[in-house]
Amino acid sequence: SFSREAQLFVEKFEGALGKGKGKKFYAYKVMMTKKWMKFQRDFENFKTACIPWEMKIKEIESHFGSSVASYFIFLRWMYGINMILFGLTFGLVMVPEALMGKPYGSLPRKTVPRAEEASAMNFATLWDFSGFAQYSVLFYGYYNNQRTIGWLKFRMPLSYFLVGVGTIGYSFMIVIRTMARNANEEGGGDDTSFNFSWKMFTSWDYLIGNPETADNKFASITTSFKEAIVEEQESRKEENIHLTRFLRVLANFLALCTLAGSGYLIFFVVRRSQKFALEGLENYGWWERNEVPLRWQLGRIFALFLGNLYTFIIALMDEINLKASYLLPFMIFSMHLEEEKIVKYNMTIWEASLYNGTIPENSTAPPIQVDPADVPRGPCWETMVGQEFVRLTVSDTMTTYITILIGDFLRAVFVRFFNYCWCWDLEYGFPSYSEFDISGNVLGLIFNQGMIWMGSFYAPCLPAINVFRLHTSMYLQCWAVMCCNVPQERVFKASRSNNFYMAMLLFILFLSTLPAVYTIVSIPPSFDCGPFSGKTRMFEVISETLEHDFPSWFGKVFGYASNPGLILPFILLMV
């Protein structure tokens, strides 16, 4: 038998090695090799356990298949991106301003106006991100346009600008890089001969000794077989090409119709609100009064718009969210121009009234101490836009969570406990347990990220809010999937749809960064708030930095290098 052969072999070997010292050294070498292999295996296990949520995702994969698991892997990847965005905005924008900028109450833009002071601390106001939340580092309007702040001479406006541009650049880079990596992997993974044979003979892990792990392993093997079977069946089916083509065209056409319809609805609402704005202005012919009535009118318009907006959101959630948030900056900005003119006029009148006519116009006078809360404010459209985005994100999050709790959890509880006293079998008929809606969830995630990208320039707090949202979402959805959902009837493999979702993400990224880029390049910043106030264009902060902080020759070189002819090819090369 084998062991007798082995014994002879060992004896021969021993003889060859000689006695004593040789034998010990060999035994030592064998022991070290064994220890090294064990260490390598343990380290691999440790590395896998360190990846956040890896165990959870593996468990979900074994019960629900690779496509459901791929949603969670996508969620985790998004979480990583948002962490980096959060790090940038928090570390380079919010913290320096909080630590080294002028404190709350020192400047008009940093103080709650007198009129709003009474309600500034209410929970309702804070939940709506007005009051104290609005006049803080969370939003664009709080930041001062001082070129350097603190003893470190931290260049705040420059930092704000670079962080804004940097987040856009980083997001592009990482999405494109992941797409390229996916494309590479897919090319190699298609060559699977012996697919079924390997699944049958090599999938069991002989090291498993724990019954729970064994359960998971059985489930994952079964799911893996089911996926392969479905793939095989699909490839065997004879396809009616014409029918599928017709169905595809029909689906696209219907989708376009809904998009056009919702676009028209939004356009209609905007027109209606603009009409209200014009009516409102006509009713107040005297600008010398304080701007509170004007503000009230604008508030009414916003309320109307928001009311409509929220109705639309519930009706056609994903698409409307994105399009509405896309139109928002432009809508708010058009009203802003009107308001700015009014306020500037107002302020000259107000300053004159302060001096009460005691000092003739053209002489200089000692500045009168006025409490910052009493100074009339210029409109700050960037903060308003930021607030809208934050509100949209929060409401979207709430809607998702409540949908999960009601749609999945309550439904499961109802089916489970009322099954005994109901006429028909609840579990097999209506409503039964819900399946996990992969595409809906992924699209929701993509559109949510689009909103974050669009809004983070105006509200540095958005990435932080999103990190919190994704973190809780991961736990909530993992729990909901394992507890309330059933696996789909047919389990599909995740590979081909991955790059489709990536392409969609890239498209949304491009769309969402357009408004921010447009703002930076062509719209003048508000004169009374934010780090760029007083400049004609936001990107002037760069030329200003070059003038003051770099030696003159550098400025000339940069002037030549910033020729668009050079920059465009450079960017294209990078991509």
Interface residues with another protein (CB under 8 A)? 1-4, 6, 34, 37-38, 193-198, 200-211, 213-214, 218, 221-222, 225-226, 228-229, 232-233
DSSP at 231: H
Least distance (Å) between residue 70 CB and another protein: 21
Q: How far is the CB of 493 from another protein (least distance, A)?
A: 16
Choose between 198 and 507: whose C-beta lies nearer to another protein: 198
Peptide bond into 564 cis (omega under 30): no
C-beta closer to another protein: residue 103 or 187:
187
State in angstroms the smallest separation of the CB of 32 from another protein. Answer: 13
Write down the least CB distance from residue 232 to another protein, Å. Answer: 7
Q: Which pairing describes strands 485-486 and 434-435: parallel, antiparallel, or unpaired?
A: parallel
**Amino acid letter for position 30:** V
How many CA within 13 A on the CB side of residue 395? 20
**Rounded CA separation 528/75 (Å):** 39
- Asked if residue 452 lies in contact with residue 463, where contact means CB atoms within 8 angstroms, the answer is yes
- From the number of C-beta atoms within 10 Å of its C-beta (0-12, 13-18, 19+), residue 306 rates as middle
Residue type, 412: A
Shortest separation between residue 124's beta carbon and another protein, angstroms: 53
The neighbouring-strand residues paired with 149 are 154
Closer residue to another protein, CB minimum distance, 40 or 106? 40
Cβ proximity to another protein: between 165 and 208 the closer is 208
Judged by beta carbon, residue 23 or residue 548, the one nearer another protein is 23
Q: Which is nearer to another protein, 474 or 491 (CB)?
A: 491
Taking the complex as a whole, how short is the minimal distance between the CB of residue 44 and another protein, in angstroms? 10
Q: How far apart are CA 159 and CA 235, in angstroms?
A: 55
- Do 164 and 541 contact (CB within 8 A), yes or no? no
* Cβ at position 434, least distance to another protein in Å: 22
CB of 64 to another protein, least distance (A): 14
Let me know if 404 is exposed, middle or buried by CB neighbors in 10 A (0-12, 13-18, 19+).
Answer: buried
Q: Phi and psi (nearest 5°) for 536?
A: -80, -35
Residue nearer to another protein on the CB measure, 229 or 256 = 229
- C-alpha 176/C-alpha 197 separation (Å) is 36
Q: Which amino acid type is present at position 549?
A: D
Count of CA atoms in the C-beta half-sphere (13 A) of 10: 9
- CB neighbour list of residue 376: distance below 8 Å, 6 or more residues apart: 290, 291, 343, 346, 347, 350
Q: How far is the CB of 197 from another protein (least distance, A)?
A: 5
Q: How far is the CB of 468 from another protein (least distance, A)?
A: 39
Closer CB to another protein, 216 or 321, in the complex: 216
Residue showing tokens 């020192």: 106
Q: Of 63 and 155, which has the nearer Cβ to another protein?
A: 63
Contact 398, 345 (CB under 8 A): no
Supply the DSSP string of 314-334, one letter for each residue: HHSHHHHHHHHHHHHHHHHHH
H/E segment holding residue 314: helix 292-315
At its nearest, how many Å lie between another protein and the CB of residue 54? 18
* Nearer to another protein among residue 54 and residue 319 (C-beta): 54
The CA angle 479-481-484, to the nearest 5 degrees, is 95
Closest CB 241 distance from another protein, rounded Å: 25
Q: Between 194 and 414, whose beta carbon lies closer to another protein? A: 194
Q: Of 458, 461, 455, 462, which Cα lies nearest the Cα of 526?
A: 458
Question: What's the CA gap between 355 and 359, in Å, rounded?
Answer: 7
- What angle do helix axes 156-189 and 66-89 make, rounded to 10 degrees? 160
Q: How far is the CB of 183 from another protein (least distance, A)?
A: 21
Q: Please identify, using beta-carbon distances, which residue of 46 and 151 lies nearer to another protein.
A: 46
- Quick check: 450 and 511 in contact, CB under 8 A? yes
DSSP string over 474-499:
HHHHHHHHHHHEE--SSPPPSHHHHH
CA distance 562 to 567: 6
Query: Which of residues 193 and 369 has its CB atom nearest to another protein in the complex?
Result: 193
Q: DSSP state, 373?
A: G
Name the residue nearer to another protein (CB basis): 202 or 356: 202
Nearest to 24 by CA among 32, 414, 84, 420: 32
- Smallest distance from another protein to CB 8, Å: 14
